[in-house]
Chains A and B, each alone.
Chain A
Amino acid sequence: MTVSDLKQQLHSYREAAESMRDILLANVVMIGEIPAPTCYEDQRVQFIQNRFSECGLQNCSADEVGNGFGILNGSVGERNLLLVAHADTIFSDKVDHTISLLSDRIMGPGVGDNSLGVAVLASLPLLLERLDIQLKSNLILMAGARSLGSGNLEGLRFFLHNNKQPIAGALCVEGVKLGRLSYSSIGMLRGEISVRVPEMYDWSRFGASGAIITLNDIINKITRIPLPKRPKTSIVLGTIEGGNSFNNIATHSLLRFEIRSESAEVVHDILAEIRDRITETELESSAEIALDILARREPGGIDFRHPLVRQARDVLKALHIEPRVAPSTSELAELIRHDIPAITLGLTTGKKHMQQVEEVDIEPIFQGIAQLLGVLVAMDEGLCDEH
């Protein structure tokens, strides 16, 4: 198949995806209504495995960390391609997981991140069958467990560490946002700073002010850390919690933060700075302050001119999708670490990302699926290989 043959096919891919509208949307709803907080994805993964089994996929299984797999055997079977979507969400099982479906959009917790991605994964075998596409390569479909937050990509990490079959290329699927084209990973470090005031604390001591004020001191010090413009670097203060009530001085507080940089060295340096600030504050306040590192990513990736990125850009262009190039800190980073050519693609537009009433638009999904199929077929045809 040539590049121009492939472009001709994109329209039929979109039509086939649209013809499966009810199956696809039902998968989004049913998957989205199964709570899957990180480390507790088993019911959602079981559902996906059942879907794979119904389609006659081989080796439908879950591994010991909870990843779900289905394998579509290729006609030649010499190469293996991996399609991965993380199965976990940031929402606890206490949250109402009801999904609402209107004519033009789907709403509910985690619907874009990443119920839609997983639903497309679950629908893909049927879609390929309808299009009469038999890939030459084996296609490993993976619903990844323990991906987000403190999960730290454990599912994919485990798979790549223990997998015996070489992976020729991989696609990471995210619900939002259509046009997303990530081919590189930035350096990242995720940490938690917890402040605890001992029960027998001497409140008459100078500076005795409770865990919230102490954490506030640390935050002020962190925000004064100078950040370079190049390589691009940022510190994100993500969540903060602490205390028990209006009228009691807080005895505990917690800050979750993330350092991001194009340079691993800068991430390392900033972490050292934060450690110094914590030690300084600890000495001033005598509160117990702990720093836990929960996740790390190394920067890296394939080149903008890599055939996989070029093919993906061409497919997006042929479908009139505006590419949004942005580095990733998710599954892609782990694939890059294992020298597997990989990109991340988004499927549709949406809003209120990571909020309980997250919304995704229905119509662009079919364009997103056509794009995914286009890139997958290009990979299978060897159009994305470096020569």
Chain B
Amino acid sequence: MNIDQWLRENTFHYSSFWDFRHLVEAKEAQGLKISLCIPTLNEERTIGKEIVIFRSELMSRYPFLDEIAVIDSGSTDNTREVAASFGADVYLAEDILPEVGSKRGKGENLWKAIYQLQGDIIVYVDADIKNIHPRFAYGLVAPLVYRPEIKYVKAFYDRPLAFSQGIRPSGGGRVTEILVRPLFSLFFPELTAIIQPLSGEYAVRRDVLEAIPFPIGYGVETSHLIDVYSKWGMQAFGQTDLDQRVHRNQATRDLGKMSFGILQTFLNRTKALGLVPELPELNNIMRQFQVKDGHFEQIEHHIVEEERPPMLDIEAYRQKFK
């Protein structure tokens, strides 16, 4: 499948799925269960709104979602209380599969959701979206409902404010354009067609989620793309334009840490796939610098991209679902 063909056939705009009745009928005809998972850490200001919008529009009005779950990393604000008060199923990540222990990171919540939630499809939506709208869920799930061969749908956001000519650039954020897209161009050229590979919103079939490992930190999205691509090829992907996502902007320093984590994951994947010869032992300290009282001093960030195994390797999961 070449990139142009894939872009033409597997790239969607959420507005093409406006017919909710038809979407629900198609979902029900296949007997699909759909779970929405919102990973959280101290999101009391935005979580209530997300839950209310999804419940109202995609549960009460149209029975599209079967489950709305918040998997929390141990918020110290009222995130869990607010989420529960608006009717979400709320879980503390460390309470899920306690026998495998607890690790800190968004990927941990996403991974544990596979065990905790019931859906044949799980759609992950971040909790910090200011302009939350039902499209963030149905826009990603709909391609999976209508196209059985698609297994993994990523979000991208492309809403030009004003543009006068026929061509304009489109793409992701700073880390995508400076790090991930160049790396994909070098090693996995087809994956460059995914416009925003790091977007935190995606919908995935359970048979894919249970079969891939989960880095628990910054590398989870990158590793997913490489693993799904390696196992099922480009035709397993879809991507949906959700127009615009308003969220907190991260400082460049934070993006540096993120890039460090992504690079670790990426290099480990290329090694595992035999794309590069043996790598030297990689450092896991990211150094940044600041000036204090006229002197430069270094700040060390210890960043280790730990990884959870495919959920199918977990005995308790196999007992529950197989």
A interface list, Cβ under 8 A from B: 20, 22-23, 25-27, 29-30, 33, 54, 98-103
Binary contact readout B83-121 vs A (1 if CB under 8 angstroms, 0 otherwise): 001110000000000000000000000000000000000
CB of B82 within 8 Å of the partner chain = yes
**Which residues of B are in contact with A by a Cβ distance under 8 Å?**
44-46, 48-49, 52-53, 55-57, 59-61, 78, 81-82, 85-87, 130-131, 133, 246
Question: Which B residue's beta carbon lies closest to that of A99?
Answer: B49
Alpha-carbon separation in the docked complex, A282 to B97 (Å): 81
Residues of A within 8 A of B53 (CB): 26, 29-30
Contacting residue for B56 out of A23, A99, A100, CB 8 A: A23
Q: Nearest Cβ in chain B — how far from A65, in angstroms?
A: 28
Q: Decide if B56 touches A103 in the complex (CB within 8 Å).
A: no
Q: Give bound CA distance, A30 to B78, whole Å.
A: 23
Contacts of A30 in B (CB 8 A): 53, 133
Contact present for A22 and B56 (CB under 8 Å): yes
Given A22-B55, A22-B56, CB of A103 within 8 Å of CB of B49: no
Chain A minimum-CB-distance residue to B133: A30
**In whole angstroms, how far apart are the Cα atoms of A29 and B52 in the complex?**
9
User: Is there an interface contact between B78 and A103, defined as CB atoms closer than 8 Å?
Assistant: yes
- Contact B60–A22 (Cβ < 8 Å): yes
Contact, CB under 8 Å: B60 / A100: no
Which residues of the partner chain B approach A98 to less than 8 Å between Cβ atoms?
Answer: 130-131, 246
Q: Which residue of B lies closest to A96 (CB)?
A: B130
* 17 A-B pairs with C-beta separation under 8 A: A20-B60, A22-B59, A23-B56, A23-B61, A25-B52, A26-B52, A27-B56, A29-B49, A29-B53, A33-B131, A98-B131, A98-B246, A100-B49, A101-B52, A101-B86, A102-B82, A103-B78
> What residues on A are CB-neighbors of B57 within 8 Å?
26
CA distance A98 to B87 in the complex (A): 22
**B45 proximity list for chain A (CB < 8 A):** 100, 102
A368 to chain B, nearest CB (A): 18
Q: Residues of A contacting B60 with CB < 8 Å? A: 20, 22-23
Could you tell me the distance in whole angstroms from the C-beta of B287 to the nearest C-beta in chain A?
37
Given contacts A22-B86, A33-B131, contact A101 B56 (CB under 8 A): no
User: Please, which residues of chain A bring their CB within 8 A of the CB of B44?
Assistant: 102
The reply to whether B48 and A101 form a contact with Cβ atoms under 8 Å apart is: yes
Given contacts A33-B131, A103-B78, contact A26 B48 (CB under 8 A): no
Q: How far is the CA of A26 from the CA of B61 in the complex (A)?
A: 11
* Contact assessment for B49 and A22 in the assembled complex, using a CB-CB cutoff below 8 Å: no
B49's partner among A20, A27, A101 (CB-CB below 8 A) is A101
How far is B57's CA from A54's CA once the two chains are assembled, in angstroms?
Answer: 12
Of listed B44, B48, B133, residue having the most chain A CB within 10 A = B48
Closest residue on chain A to residue B57 by CB atoms: A26
- Across the two chains, which residue of chain B brings its CB closest to A20? B60
Question: What CA separation (Å) do A358 and B127 show in the bound complex?
Answer: 23
The residue in chain B whose Cβ has the minimal distance to the Cβ of A100 is B45
Distance of A30 Cα from B48 Cα, bound (Å): 13
Task: For the complex, give the distance between the alpha carbons of A25 and B57 in Å.
Answer: 11
Given A33-B131, A98-B130, does the pair A22, B52 have CB atoms closer than 8 Å? Answer: yes
B84 CB, min distance to chain A CBs, angstroms: 9
Task: Give B245 Cβ to nearest chain A Cβ, in Å.
Answer: 13
Q: Which residue of B lies closest to A123 (CB)?
A: B56
In the complex, what's the smallest C-beta–C-beta distance from A109 to chain B, in angstroms? 14
- Determine the distance from Cα of A160 to Cα of B35 in the docked complex, in whole angstroms: 48
Q: Which residue of A has the minimal Cβ distance to B61?
A: A23
**B85→A103 contact, CB < 8 A:** yes
Look across to chain A and name the residue whose beta carbon is closest to the beta carbon of B53: A26
Q: How far is the CA of A17 from the CA of B44 in the complex (A)?
A: 25
Across the two chains, which residue of chain A brings its CB closest to B246? A98
